[in-house]
Amino acid sequence: MDFKYDDITPLKLNEAQPQLCQILYDDEYKTTMGILLALMAKNELSERALAMTELGISTLASHYSIWCYRFDIIKCLKKDLYDELDWLESIAIDNEKNYQIWNYRQLIIGQIEGFDATREFPILNTMILEDSKNHHVWTYRHWLVEKFNLFENEKELKFIDDLLDDDVYNNSAWSHRFFIKFNNEKVDVDEELNYVEHKIRISPQNESSWNYLMGIYEKFQIPLIKLQPFLNEFVNPDIIDNTDSEDLELIKSSFALELLAKTYNNEKSLIIYDLLIAKYDPIRENYWKYLKSKLTSN
């Protein structure tokens, strides 16, 4: 439907001089935003105002005030909220890095009584598969899981499992898995330890899986000494007594070597830090020297 705006005098954008960085708006942008600003100034909650917000969002999807204005119109006109969610999906796909879309989606869902949260899975899965590091989508997914208590939802758990099966280096998936598993009182800690240890064996030099393992140990205050048998799968203990060896096969993971130092917390740890400096992780030389200083100062 075509709407008339002849009675609306577009407001001027902020083009006051001087400006540090002058923005050169084109005429179409000036007209669209000018009409929107005028409608917003008079708080017109109408069908034509709604249509103009759609045009404004297609022009500049990051404009926070337009989203707020559209939300007020949607509520006032009692529009179908599921239609609004469908419309939002098309906007999200074209603006995958836009935070406002997901904030607005939360507002809309908050207006729907008895909302089925699994309705969100297709669009979220599509966007994460498109960009596994999309922070805004992952943040929204966290919100969805927490709001609708999806910590034990089989579809959600399978999606994360599949992501890690496809890419064990997917740090976002590891973070989301930790969020899901350890916000659930029914979590089987031993099962999660077995899971992450299996993933580490697949890729011993994957920092994300080691961080997940350490996250479990820290959360449940498990003594690090219990890690030694597992760490010895990746670090030949003989390396401590044969520091002149050039055989890099003595270790399969510098992260395992680092953790082994923490389990000893003695002179063996100092030897390991020297090995990390000299051979296995020289990039973090200052960090290893700092850990050595802490040990020698005690």
Alpha helices in the chain (DSSP H): 27-41, 47-59, 64-77, 81-94, 99-109, 121-130, 135-147, 154-166, 171-181, 189-202, 207-219, 228-231, 254-264, 267-275, 285-297
List pLDDT tens digits, range 30-59.
888 999 999 999 999 999 999 999 999 998
**pLDDT band with cut points at 50, 70 and 90 for residue 17:** very low
pLDDT at 206 over 80: yes
- What is the overall mean pLDDT for the chain? 90
pTM of the model: 0.87
Higher pLDDT, 62 or 171: 171
pLDDT in tens, 251-283: 899 999 999 999 997 889 999 999 999 888 999
pLDDT over 50 at 18, yes or no: no
Domain range list for the chain: 225-298
Angle in degrees, CA 185, 189, 193, rounded to 5: 150
What is the pLDDT, as a whole number, of residue 65? Answer: 93
Average pLDDT over residues 103-122: 96
CA distance 298 to 288: 16
3-state secondary structure of 251: strand
